[in-house]
Amino acid sequence: MRSTQANSGRLEVENAILSLRPTVRSSLAMTLGGMADAFLYAYLPLNATTLELNAFSVGAILSINKFVRVLSNRWVNALAAVTGLKHIVSMAICLAALTSMSYAFEMPLWFWLLVRVVWGISYSMFRFASVQYVQVAPHKGEALGIATSIKELGPVLTYWFGPIVLTTWGASPVFLTSAVATLMGMALLHNLPNPKAKVVLKEVVRFQKPNWLDAWVFISSFLIDGFVVVTVSILLRSHANFWSEHVLMNTAIFISMRRVFQIILAPLTGSAIRRYGHRLVFALSSVLICVALGFMAGGIIVEALVIVFAAAAVNNVCMPLFALQRSSTRENYNAFAKLSTAKDIGAAVGALIGLPLVGVVEPRWIFSVLCVGSIYTLYRVLRR
């Protein structure tokens, strides 16, 4: 009897591990593909003059890929229905490698924008596939936590070692190395299953009215994935003078901090979700984001950045579960597409107007408005 129970337990563990393999592989491919994009957020704002780009041009370059995802999020699902998830990942790898290589060369503004459009499409493919592969795991919260953690490894390594390579050899080696690393992701596709997502074409193109959860995702993404990412060097230089000697290095450290928190906290968040439920974990992390915004409004920047990045790492794991735990596959994807679109629009708008906005408005007023708006939006979400 004991032997049978032991064998049953071992078999359950082995099946759980096997069910995670597609999630792990697709997430590893995404982490390799995102390295060059991650470093661009630290590199471009501080080298805009050298590259003959103004603040608005930098904002457009860093945001246009997110605007593209607003359209591509839904159409990637239609493409996956024809080609399957495995081929979606392979296409994403090729496009990501192409964009990473392009960053190594001097480009006019229009070509920068074109390359970033291509990266936006690639990112939509990576994200869609990684979330869909989570569906085969027995515990979606834990699988999502593991996937989120893995996806941040490549960008974090780029943040840490990119400035060192940049100082020693220049930017081109950083981006060319990223392109080669991205192509290595093709090896991860061996024996990867190729399920085809179900899609109803009418629902892919149909506009869906946003709700308060979508509004929360928009505000938090505007702040964390858009505004703060492109202005963190300015915020640190203005509010913490001791960072000013090595601005690029410290900017990279702070931007990478949010990804480090994702790596560390995402798996722990998955376990907490399994125990307490995603709504409670979401509520607690969202309250912390509001608290951090209050600190930023009061001029407490460094401490607030640590809090908001940690809270956002937890929040990001919870979000897809509002969609994935719907009663049908069709509802799952429709909800996920709405959340993804809200996230991408928020990040895109934040990245586009972040630098010009801090040039005309005191950051504390911006954070005050965001704080009030986020508190009210969270109140409406939790009332549901």
Tell me: the pLDDT tens digits for 290-313? 999 999 888 888 888 889 999 998
Percent of the chain with pLDDT over 90: 22
Mean pLDDT over each residue of the chain, to the nearest integer: 80
Say how many residues make up the chain: 384
Tell me how crowded residue 76 is: count the other CB atoms within 10 A of its CB. 27
- Judge whether 221 and 286 are in contact, CB under 8 Å: no
**Higher per-residue pLDDT: 172 or 197:** 172
Structure tokens at 264: 């560390």
Q: Report the pLDDT value the prediction gives residue 242, as an integer from 0 to 100.
A: 43
Q: Is pLDDT of 82 > 70?
A: yes
Please say if the pLDDT value at position 61 is more than 70.
yes
DSSP, residue by residue, 125-148: HHHHHHHHHHTTSSSHHHHHHHHH
Selected residue with higher pLDDT from 288 and 141: 288
E strands of the chain, at which residues? none
C-alpha 83/C-alpha 287 separation (Å) is 41
pLDDT band of 285, cuts 50, 70, 90: very high
Q: Is 299 helix (H, G, I), strand (E, B) or coil?
A: coil
Q: Would you say residue 13 has pLDDT above 70? A: no
Q: State both tokens at 97.
A: 């490698």
pLDDT band at 207 (very low <50, low <70, confident <90, very high): low
pLDDT at position 267 is 87
- Kindly indicate the confidence band of residue 2, based on its pLDDT and cuts at 50, 70 and 90: very low
Query: Of 290, 333, 332, 295, nearest to 315 (Cα)?
Result: 290
Model confidence at 342, pLDDT cuts 50, 70, 90, reads confident
Answer yes or no: are the C-beta atoms of 184 and 29 closer than 8 Å. Answer: no
Per-residue pLDDT band for 121 (boundaries 50, 70, 90) equals very high
| Under 8 Å between Cβ of 225 and 94 | no
Q: Tell me how far apart the alpha carbons of residues 56 and 353 are, in angstroms, rounded to a whole number.
A: 7
**What percentage of residues in the chain have a pLDDT greater than 70?**
82
Q: Which of 355, 254, 263 is nearest to 49 (CA)?
A: 355
Residue 62 and residue 152 in contact, taking contact as beta carbons nearer than 8 Å: no
Identify the pLDDT of residue 149. Answer: 83
Q: Based on the number of CB atoms within 10 Å of its own CB, is 207 exposed (0-12), middle (13-18) or buried (19 or more)?
A: exposed
Range 251-267 average pLDDT? 80
Which residues make Cβ contacts (< 8 Å) with residue 4, sequence separation at least 6? Answer: none
**315/378 Cα distance (integer angstroms):** 12
372: exposed, middle or buried (Cβ count in 10 Å: 0-12, 13-18, 19+): middle
Residue-level pLDDT at 9: 41
Q: Examine the pLDDT at 337 and tell me if it is beyond 70.
A: yes
pLDDT tens-digit readout, 151-173: 888 777 777 776 677 777 777 88
**Is residue 8 over pLDDT 50?**
no
